[in-house]
């Protein structure tokens, strides 16, 4: 047995353990009450981060609903090792937030090239009142979008701005605080040991605050941000769309996608094309430990909400992945490609199956409706490698480098449409509805 994989898998199970999270929450609340502290929420804001721009618009609604002490912390950048190719990230984030914002009733203004980010940060660092900060953050975003320094300077009137050196010192302190608490991005909320990413995860923070009785008596009972979905009327089901699905067998978020992607293709006239890729770390992309821990904990929350088994992990990194992919083209040829990947994911992420062992792999193959004797004839071949590399390059060409990626191919006057992440399946569905609603 691989000792390193055994230890790593045990650590991953520990990080994803919901019982451990519950215990941590109980201890945190006991300490808070013992020390007489308010419900203190930290918010890390990056002025040129699209996700921060959306999250900042939730600050006032959050304050209106909860009796909390909200402490904004301005940061200048993400942790470099946690972001694969910053330029690609910036382009992707701007495109994604522009697509998302209308469904949340939020405004998105991408900063103009050459906008004075340093001045924008100094303005927000000078703002001590949280309600003023929330208003200024939105004003700063609009001013950065215009690209006019005068618009930014107008926001500074009446405030005593820190010097450039003072601002750099404070930004470094906020960066170190975020790093020490265990995260790497802007647009993040932190409360008593847990992280919540922007508008996507704010509802988990609100559920926790509700459980602690922190909602104001006179406050609305809804959430601080609301996703408004389309209500499809008559759809043109005579048309068929093609959806490419780029999964990875070592991605916890991909694990949450299989059943929902399948349901999506059953709900609409959509042909699914499977295009699996090697995990990023097996493609030479480095990862920060904090990122890995956050992903596991976040996936556990999402899995619980979705009713998907997760956390009983046996890490398939390395040879198990290679063995698995050696069988994929054959499984696809048998018409069981999707079932094979889905069962494999369930086994390694939710059932602690050692997929490197022949016994473990056999159970996966047979549960997927495939013949083990036939599988053995193809096990450990390398014929699949060129196809996987093509999949990776096509995914990157679509603007994404992570999984799960979903791409609707070009259709008539509609260009290709790509989303990244299991929490963007709703967005690909909106695009499907739009295309099928068109005359």
For all residues of the chain together, what is the average pLDDT?
96
State yes or no: pLDDT of 439 exceeds 90. no
Tokens of 334: 């048998």
SS3 410: coil
Give per-residue pLDDT as tens, 347-363: 999 999 999 999 999 99
CATH topology assigned to domain 38-211: Glutaredoxin (3.40.30)
CATH topology assigned to domain 241-437: Glutaredoxin (3.40.30)
User: Can you spell out the DSSP letters for 247-270?
Assistant: --TT-HHHHTTHHHHHHHHHHTTE
State yes or no: pLDDT of 82 exceeds 90. no
- Report the pLDDT averaged over residues 179-183: 97
Backbone torsions φ then ψ of 417, nearest 5 degrees: -135, 120
Domain ranges of the chain: 38-211, 241-437
Give per-residue pLDDT as tens, 310-356: 999 999 999 999 999 999 999 999 999 999 999 999 999 999 999 99
What is the rounded CA–CA span in Å between residue 227 and residue 241?
25
Q: Which segments within 122-230 are labelled E, that is strand?
A: 188-191, 194-197
- Report the pLDDT averaged over residues 216-243: 93
Task: Judge whether 38-211 and 241-437 match in fold.
Answer: yes
CA neighbours within 13 Å on the CB side: how many for 335?
0
Which residues, other chains included, contact 201 with Cβ-Cβ below 8 Å and sequence gap of 6+? Answer: 189, 195, 298, 301
Give per-residue pLDDT as tens, 288-306: 889 999 999 999 999 999 9
State yes or no: pLDDT of 1 exceeds 70. no
């Amino acid at each position: 047995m691989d000792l390193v994989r055994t230890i790593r898998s045990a650590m991953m199970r520990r990080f994803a353990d919901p019982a451990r999270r519950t215990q941590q929450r109980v201890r945190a609340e006991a300490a808070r009450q013992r020390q007489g502290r308010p419900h203190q929420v930290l918010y890390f804001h990056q002025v040129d981060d699209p996700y921060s721009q959306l999250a900042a618009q939730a600050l006032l609604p959050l304050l209106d609903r909860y009796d909390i002490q909200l402490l904004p912390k301005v940061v200048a950048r993400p942790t470099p090792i946690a972001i694969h190719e910053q330029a690609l990230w910036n382009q992707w984030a701007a495109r994604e937030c522009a697509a998302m914002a209308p469904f949340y009733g939020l405004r998105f203004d991408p900063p103009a090239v050459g906008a004075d980010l340093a001045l924008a940060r100094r303005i927000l660092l000078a703002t001590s009142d949280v309600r003023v900060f929330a208003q200024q953050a939105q004003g700063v975003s609009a001013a950065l979008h215009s690209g006019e320094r005068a618009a930014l300077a107008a926001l500074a009137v009446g405030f005593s701005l820190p010097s450039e050196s003072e601002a750099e010192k404070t930004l470094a302190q906020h960066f170190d605080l975020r790093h020490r608490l265990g995260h790497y991005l802007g647009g993040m909320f932190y409360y008593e040991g847990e992280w919540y990413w922007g508008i996507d995860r704010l509802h988990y923070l609100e559920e926790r605050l509700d459980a602690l009785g922190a909602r104001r008596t006179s406050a609305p009972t809804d959430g601080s941000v609301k996703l408004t979905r389309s209500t499809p009327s008559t759809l043109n089901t005579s048309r068929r769309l093609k959806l490419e699905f780029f999964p990875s067998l070592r991605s916890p978020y991909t694990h949450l996608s299989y059943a929902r992607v399948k349901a999506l293709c059953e709900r609409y006239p959509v042909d699914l094309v499977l295009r699996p890729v090697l995990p990023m770390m097996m493609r030479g992309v480095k990862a920060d430990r904090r990122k890995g821990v956050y992903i596991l904990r976040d996936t556990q929350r999402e899995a619980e909400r979705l009713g998907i088994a997760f956390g009983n992990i046996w890490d398939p990194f390395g040879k198990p992945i290679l063995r698995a992919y050696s069988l994929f083209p054959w499984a696809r040829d048998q018409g069981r490609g999707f079932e094979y990947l889905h069962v494999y994911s369930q086994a390694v992420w939710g059932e602690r199956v050692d997929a490197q062992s022949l016994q473990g792999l056999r159970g996966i193959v047979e549960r997927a409706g495939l013949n083990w004797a036939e599988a053995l004839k193809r096990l450990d071949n390398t014929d699949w490698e060129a196809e996987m590399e093509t999949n990776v390059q096509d995914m990157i060409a679509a603007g994404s480098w992570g999984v799960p990626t979903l791409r609707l191919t070009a259709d008539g006057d509609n260009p290709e449409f790509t989303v990244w992440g299991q929490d963007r399946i709703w967005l690909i569905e909106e695009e499907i509805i739009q295309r099928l609603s068109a005359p």
